[in-house]
Copies of this chain bind each other. A is one copy, B any other.
Amino acid sequence: MAAPEIEQLIQLLSKLPGLGPRSARRAALHLVKKKDILMTPLSQALVRVEHNVKNCSVCGNIDASDPCAICTDMRRDDSIICVVQDVADLWALERSATFKGRYHVLGGTLSALDGIGPEDLKIDTLVGRASNQAVKEVILATSATVDGQTTAHYIADCLADCNVKISGLAHGVPVGGELDYLDDGTLSAALSARRVME
């Protein structure tokens, strides 16, 4: 219907998460209309990311340099590694600006349904890093889902011989959350992990 160039752009845009065929069409039209201020910069930005961004061979983060900026930052603590499923989780933790150690990106979770086994995740390299004398603690910050927790337990077993402290994120009431809207599992976790007010 539209020119094949545009149809192809729509088809590719519709593969992005959060965009369906209809919103991809709207986005493509918006791009054509804002050629100079949006389409050209976007195509240049894509080429730049394509050529410059790579996976960090140490932690699995994505960055313009390998090892990445977090792995090479001298101010960060070498003794503690935070294990996350995905780069998005690493970014979320970085936004919270609480953690000052190193990261390790697994690249997913174990999942029998999706056929993802331990060999598909970067567990070997994690065990290698954790075996280093300098590492004192590994935080397993996988999601609080069944797959995430299964993965955390599996990794805890793998690290058993590494002489590191293994910890997980606390469960409880989200900051700003109302009790009424919370599920039973979270409430019961928050109740059993209750703390003394000072």
Contacts and interface: CB of A to CB of B under 8 A. Distances in A.
A17 B26 contact: yes
Interface residues of A, number: 51
Given A25-B91, A29-B88, A88-B25, A49 B15 contact: no
A32 interface: yes
B29 A53 contact: no
Interface in A1-47: 1-6, 8-9, 12-13, 15-19, 23, 25-32, 34-35, 38-43, 45-47
Nearest to A22: B18
A28 B91 CA distance: 12
Contacts of A94: 1
Interface stretch (A62-70, A111-119, A139-147, A150-158): A62-70
